[in-house]
Amino acid sequence: MSTANAIAQDVRAGNRRATDVLKAFLSRIEAHDGDVHAFNTVTADHARAAAAAVDAAVDAGRDPGPLAGVPVAFKDNLCTRGVATTCSSRMLETWSPPYDATVVQAMTAAGAVMVGKTNLDEFAMGSSTENSAFGPTRNPYDLSRVPGGSSGGSAAAVAAGFAPLALGSDTGGSIRQPASLCGIVGIKPTYGRVSRYGLVAFASSFDQIGPFATDVADAALTLGVISGHDRADSTSIPIAVPDYAAALSRGVEDLRVGVVSELTGTGGSAGGALDGIDADVTERVIEAADALAAAGATVGRVSVPAVTYGLTAYYLIAPAEASSNLARYDGTRYGLRIDGADVSEMNRLTRRAGFGDEVKARIMLGTFALSAGYYDAYYGKAQRVRMLTRRDFDAAYADFDVLLSPTSPCVAFRFGERSDPMTMYRCDTCTIPSNLSGDPAMSVPFGTGAEDLPVGVQVMAPALGEETMLTVAAALERAAPQLPAPQLTGGTPSRGT
């Protein structure tokens, strides 16, 4: 399968037509997405027009851009003008935004061709896509297992070869965890590195948009395209975008790599190791660290004590922000309306019918955490843990350039296997700390664990440390064992051809 870099290079040079590239990907989607269900919407006509425009630009001697003719899938919480943007919720099932998200504009301006909108846990709340109102996405490595979440559709689309690139959003791990479970690369950039304008808000102080790709070079290329200041997002950082591709070939000899003790089953100075992280996953992380040492990096262990409280803090702050963000779905402004005898009944009936159980649970938890009398005990305390996390990371980064941990505590699990919320929330143990701190983090495939399923290693870096993070990720990729290709088979019977 061609990478995004290879496709763009060929299309720009006139050696391949964007329309031919698109045809191949659309026929793969046609053949297999009935089984995988990566997409909520396939935008074939839109894509054909966009690919034809790329070819016309090449014919006219113009450069369509660094992603010329590269098919891309967008998570269905990214606004696309005139194309349904559902958040996999009944609430927005029929809603089409009147504008494109800034990242959608940037990808299009770079020559990328949107092939569709991908499935997610409703409003990005979940770690398996089982919370989608439109049915789950299946993992291309084993159709009886989850692809992770909440950006499970984007990860599955790339792993299944439906598009070389996808974008997702990461609030507590929703890019990195599905990337890990689907054997691909996923990046959560520094908070503010990428504009969130046109991303449907979940928890605004955590939400970031980032790329999925089959290799580190494609992820770096895409990160460069979507990064940068945007006047439409007041949290975006007004600094220049580095040449991320240049970071890939740098050596790791001068770099210090810290393996986070609390997340690798070896215990820290205060509080010890978190349980629930599977041994097969930890073993791959240790092997990854050894590979970096063999490549010349200085590798040590480091304790980041506050990561043990991350989950608890996140599951107070994120629902609190969500309860506020989701107040806008009141039957008046967006999407669904169920009429009632008066406004307040209309509002109640709309929200009862429009939101799924997990979303309702988060709204109730968040409202409770913010309520008078409980604010200090819950929300205030969680914010203090957030400060502690920042402090502990700062201390770790005084001694190390990057940190290593598992991305997900386990490989892809079976549908229904983590049905109680606490078990599901524990999927996010290793990813949440970087959302609390706002620092960049990414997942790189590194071998397989139980049942020969992919394992991802998480590389974390200090704020705006994407280049160093990519240097280490590229070194890991060079050392990683070759993953078997996904066979798109497994327990679930095919829905017919």
226 backbone φψ class: left, alpha, beta (φ>0; ψ -120 to 50): alpha
Catalytic residue among 174, 236, 434, 443: 174
DSSP symbol at 309: G
Catalytic residue among 128, 150, 169, 227: 150
Site for ligand GLN in 113-142 (CB under 6 A): 124-127
Q: Which is nearer to ligand GLN, 87 or 474 (CB)?
A: 87
- Is 195 known to be catalytic? no
Q: Which is nearer to ligand GLN, 8 or 175 (CB)?
A: 175
Binding letters toward ligand GLN, positions 162-201, x by CB under 6 A: -------xxxxxx---------------------------
User: How many angstroms separate the CA atoms of 324 and 318, rounded?
Assistant: 10
Q: Which is nearer to ligand GLN, 39 or 315 (CB)?
A: 315
Q: How far is the CB of 124 from ligand GLN (least distance, A)?
A: 4
Q: How far is the CB of 87 from ligand GLN (least distance, A)?
A: 11
- Is 360 known to be catalytic? no
Q: Dig out the tokens for 22 from the structure.
A: 């698109």
Question: Which residues share a beta bridge with 404?
Answer: 259, 459
Q: How far is the CB of 216 from ligand GLN (least distance, A)?
A: 21
Residue 204 burial (10 A CB sphere; 0-12, 13-18, 19+): middle
β-strands 208-213, 165-170 pairing: antiparallel
Q: How far is the CB of 149 from ligand GLN (least distance, A)?
A: 6
Q: Which is nearer to ligand GLN, 140 or 366 (CB)?
A: 366
Asked whether the beta carbons of 168 and 178 are under 8 A apart, the reply is yes
- Is the peptide bond between 150 and the residue preceding it cis, with omega within 30 degrees of 0? yes
Asked whether the beta carbons of 75 and 120 are under 8 A apart, the reply is yes
Q: Which is nearer to ligand GLN, 111 or 178 (CB)?
A: 178
Q: Which is nearer to ligand GLN, 58 or 219 (CB)?
A: 219
Q: How far is the CB of 406 from ligand GLN (least distance, A)?
A: 15
User: How many angstroms separate the CA atoms of 73 and 374, rounded?
Assistant: 42
Q: Dig out the tokens for 280 from the structure.
A: 């097969």
State whether the Cα torsion 40-174-154-9 is positive or negative.
Answer: positive
User: How many angstroms separate the CA atoms of 49 and 359, rounded?
Assistant: 37
- Is 381 known to be catalytic? no
Asked whether the beta carbons of 125 and 170 are under 8 A apart, the reply is no
210 binds ligand GLN (CB under 6 A): no
Q: How far is the CB of 174 from ligand GLN (least distance, A)?
A: 3
Site for ligand GLN in 40-99 (CB under 6 A): none
Which residue from 470, 459, 436, 421 is spatially nearest to 128, judged by alpha carbons?
421
Site for ligand GLN in 340-359 (CB under 6 A): none
Q: How far is the CB of 423 from ligand GLN (least distance, A)?
A: 12
In this chain, which of 5, 119, 139, 150 binds ligand GLN, going by CB under 6 A? 150
For helices 44-59 and 4-12, angle between their N-to-C axes, nearest 10 degrees: 50
How many of the chain's residues bind ligand GLN (CB under 6 A)?
14
Binding letters toward ligand GLN, positions 374-413, x by CB under 6 A: ----------------------------------------
Q: Give every strand in the sheet of 441-448, ordered side by side.
A: 39-42, 113-118, 71-75, 165-170, 208-213, 185-188, 441-448, 454-460, 402-406, 256-260, 298-302
Site for ligand GLN in 311-330 (CB under 6 A): 318
**Residues noted as catalytic:** 75, 150, 174
Q: Which residues bind ligand GLN (CB under 6 A)?
A: 124-127, 150, 169-174, 202, 318, 428
